[in-house]
Chains A and B, each alone.
Chain A
């Protein structure tokens, strides 16, 4: 198994790694038992993501996926960020090995979990937004067996 140059670049030189003091919203997905946890902090002004920072416990592709995800959402509106898929994250990294696709899923989910936090806190949740966040109901990693990231 070998990573693309881009994955290695983001792993070796992660962008936007860290935490945002007084973040507008944040979301953590994953589970230490599964071996990966991603935390995404967002600073949002007028529905635009002006800053994003991540912290990740996980393998090379998990770190690279979260780094790439922050680059993809900074400057986007929250609704645009809501539409970012794991596939887009993986493609931006010039692909991930098949067994590592779940890392991009976690990256997508960390964005969504933070946005869920934002919409809920700001009273901005709509049925359309809620529909796009439906996975949060099933993917709480209560146990390893039902870990949805495992299905990718």
Chain B
């Protein structure tokens, strides 16, 4: 007799929870918490103040900036602290648009960017700017030549993410950046998901600006970064004091800056080992899922993906139900299903890679981290097939398929490189 969902539900009560949503956020490293807590306690002065407490805070802030700059292989004066990745994206895009509107009012991006980029672009469109949204292929890759073809004399900025947060695809930004350089157009990249996971060196990648976030690499929420090439002037979004060399007002958060620096330094030090370790776990997970679950596919690129990201679609079922059942068995994951958002539409990323909505609704994102283990992956591989089976038993689409009334869009044996064609033909 094979194991049942009910049995696993009972057993899971005594098992530790498994956090498989590191693309959403990460638990700060103990070393980071220690540094942040110490700084909050001891280095609470305002870095702008003209006395010992202030000097201490400014020292901590500038040391942190220098450490981060070393990690990114850039100059300290090219590193700006912000409140989050979203702020950095807003600043890079709107700040460039406002500063360069005399030169032109056209921007280029992709359909699969984070909402921080897409909604900044939409805000600019409302102000009369024009935006070209480039399509990516079914794996999430963008042909750099498409960027070249889209650049016009009035193009002022190209913004393409380094790695996608949902499907994990790593985009060819170095090549895109080279084209932008050649054409004299500024290039920004949202590297929020990439930093800490893969090498990120803005200069090598031909980026003029890059956005980063602390809490994706085991630092606290509430701190982000922007790399901005030396000498590049864009408009300020946060008006206020003279902080961040007059380019971003607001009292600096020296404690979180120190936390960010520590987290980045540790991620960089660990990267060679961790990226290989996590990629091996990821591949074990992907292989296991595709082998054990019929009508399942990997979303995103089969190989050119973040070491910690796996994103699947399971036919005939819906993502939020998968998440709820996973939660009940002790797992934290994420989905691109409409039902997990406030809108009726499934993830723009999954639609952006050409996935029909009915398949996009049944997606599951599993993102690993430094705390993920083989034991967790194997436990997951035991539980997920039970969950999928349970939901398929409830699904009228699955009964239709069983009766031969519905032709599946994902073949039974599934795979890691499947392009879905067409959609359901009901009745």
Contact = CB atoms under 8 A, between A and B. Distances in A.
A19 B396 CA distance: 9
B339 A59 contact: yes
Contacts of B271: none
B399 A19 contact: yes
B351 to A, nearest CB: 11
Interface stretch (B58-66, B193-201, B234-242, B318-326): B318-326
B358 A32 contact: yes
B395 A57 contact: yes
B318 A55 contact: no
Nearest to A19: B399
A150 B344 contact: yes
Nearest to A35: B361
B40 interface: no
A32 B320 contact: no
B328 A56 contact: no
Interface in A89-119: 99-100
Nearest to B5: A12
Interface string B332-347: 0000011110101010
A32 B342 contact: no
B348 to A, nearest CB: 15
B123 interface: no
Nearest to B426: A32
- Most B C-beta atoms less than 10 A away, residue of A11, A38, A60: A60
Contacts of B424: 32
Most chain B C-beta atoms within 10 Å of own C-beta, residue among A17, A32, A59: A32
Chain A interface helix/strand/loop/mixed? mixed
Contact of B346 (A8, A35, A56, A63): A35
B358 to A, nearest CB: 4
A36 interface: yes
B316 interface: yes
A12 B328 contact: yes
B324 A57 contact: no
Contacts of B338: 34-35
A59 B397 CA distance: 14
Contact of A35 (B339, B394, B396, B399): B339
Interface string B185-213: 00000000000000000000000000000
A138 B361 CA distance: 24
Nearest to B337: A35
A150 B338 CA distance: 12
B79 to A, nearest CB: 37
A35 B317 contact: no
A32 B328 contact: no
Contact of B318 (A8, A36, A100): A36
B344 A63 contact: no
A123 B300 CA distance: 53
B35 interface: no
Interface string A24-35: 000010001111
Given A12-B325, A32-B426, A55-B395, 4 more contacts: A35-B318, A37-B395, A39-B396, A58-B339
23 contacts: A12-B325, A12-B328, A14-B394, A28-B396, A32-B397, A32-B426, A33-B358, A33-B423, A35-B338, A35-B344, A39-B396, A55-B394, A57-B317, A57-B394, A57-B397, A58-B318, A58-B339, A59-B339, A60-B321, A62-B339, A63-B394, A99-B342, A147-B344
